[in-house]
């Protein structure tokens, strides 16, 4: 049986230079905005614009190395995988992102369907499973 190859339909969202170096640009969409980041090497990454801790706007955070610091409580979130750095635990939603021919692209299917039902974190201490 042959494997079915799914093709990704990419949507151009901006040019890399439209994103400040070590900064972000917000892509508005129903269900939650997307923050598109650019690091010092010019590589671009996309995350749901919501910190997994208290829902802070990651697009307003400080980009350093391969991470962004949430502006609310300084959680450090990996740009490539969305993972909070230890000792914090949590994960921001990651969106496929590529730079090609002088443009930044996001996956159209992900933009239309991914993380539309993610609820903002509830204020208060984080409870661990079984607690």
Cβ contact 59:50 at 8 Å = no
pLDDT at 122: 56
CA distances from 98 to 43, 48, 75, 78 (A): 9, 16, 25, 17
Q: What is the pLDDT of residue 131?
A: 42
- Residue-wise pLDDT for 21-32, tens only, equals 999 999 999 989
Domains of the chain: 26-111 (2.102.10.10)
pLDDT at position 35: 98
């Amino acid at each position: 049986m042959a494997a079915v190859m799914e093709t990704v339909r990419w949507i151009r969202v901006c040019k890399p230079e439209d994103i400040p170096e070590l900064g972000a640009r917000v892509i508005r969409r129903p269900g939650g905005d997307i923050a598109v980041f650019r690091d010092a090497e010019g590589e671009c990454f996309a995350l749901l614009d919501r910190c997994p801790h208290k829902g802070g706007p990651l697009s307003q955070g400080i980009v350093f190395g391969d991470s962004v610091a949430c502006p609310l409580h300084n959680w450090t979130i990996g740009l490539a995988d969305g993972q909070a750095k230890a000792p914090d635990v949590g994960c921001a939603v990651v969106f496929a992102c590529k730079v090609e021919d002088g443009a930044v692209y996001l996956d159209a299917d992900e933009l239309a369907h991914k993380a539309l039902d993610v609820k903002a974190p509830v204020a208060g201490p984080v409870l661990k499973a079984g607690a």
